[in-house]
Amino acid sequence: MSEHVVKMIEEEDVDSRIRELAKEIDEEYKGEEVFLVCVLRGAAFFACELAKRITIPVTLDFMQVSSYGSGTRSTGEVKIVKDIDLSMKDKNVIIVEDIVDTGNTLSTLKGFFTQRKAKSVKICSLLDKPERREVNVDIDYVGFTIPDKFVVGYGLDYDQKYRNLPYVGVVEFD
């Protein structure tokens, strides 16, 4: 079985929406500082582009989480593989994710940062797949709401391929 990718969201549309999200963050946190926490690996492309366009003071750190263990289906238990290096106490934390589907990971992370005494905790995701939601989680900044399709590009992968595509595409199998 082979696969190919069909464009879903053009590069120019992704770029434009990231600029709009940065502007929304700038306006909401005017006169303050934000702490972006990028969830690796998929959100790295999005988080870096977003951080470049935010004009207020911004700090960026990275964490890696897993909810899959050794299988291919989520266990529902979120494990922190790589924690952030900086303290988030009294900071305006924005969790930056590539895609929200079940909501399990982000719900857990939001609680985790709240326990660490962050001043505020919000979520920014390039993509939202509400049809897959298992846990109700508020996404404060959404790039695009998409249908329940397997997408790649702009950091999202299929078997570690296609992360480098400058657009978001749907994987179709032959």
Mean pLDDT of the chain: 91
Q: Measured in Å, how far apart are the chain's first and last C-alpha atoms?
A: 6
Q: Which pLDDT belongs to residue 71?
A: 42
Q: Percentage of the chain surpassing pLDDT 70?
A: 94
Q: Quickly tell me which residue has 């909501």 as its tokens.
A: 103
Q: What is the mean pLDDT of residues 67-93?
A: 74
Compute the average pLDDT of residues 13-20.
Answer: 98
Lowest mean pLDDT among 14-23, 76-85, 151-160: 76-85
Q: Is pLDDT at 171 greater than 50 in this prediction?
A: yes
Greatest CA separation for the chain? 53
At residue 130 the predicted structure's pLDDT band, cuts being 50, 70 and 90, is: very high
pLDDT at 2: 83
Query: What average pLDDT score do residues 157-163 get?
Result: 89
Asked if pLDDT for residue 67 goes beyond 80, the answer is: no
pLDDT at 78 over 90: no
To 5 degrees, how large is the angle CA 20–CA 24–CA 27? 135
The answer to whether residue 9 scores a pLDDT higher than 80 is yes
pLDDT score at 70: 44
108/52: higher pLDDT: 52
CA torsion through residues 166, 103, 19, 92, sign: negative
Active-site amino acid positions: 101
Please check whether residue 143 is in contact with residue 153, taking contact to mean a CB–CB distance below 8 angstroms. Answer: no
Does residue 72 carry a pLDDT above 50?
no
Query: Is pTM, for the whole model, over 0.85?
Result: yes
Residue type for position 92: N
Q: Which one has a higher pLDDT value, 30 or 87? A: 30
Q: For residue 7, what is the enclosing H or E element? A: strand 3-9
**CA–CA dist 63, 106 (Å, integer):** 12
Beta strands in 24-146 (DSSP E): 34-40, 58-66, 79-82, 92-100, 120-128, 141-145
What pLDDT was estimated at residue 82?
86
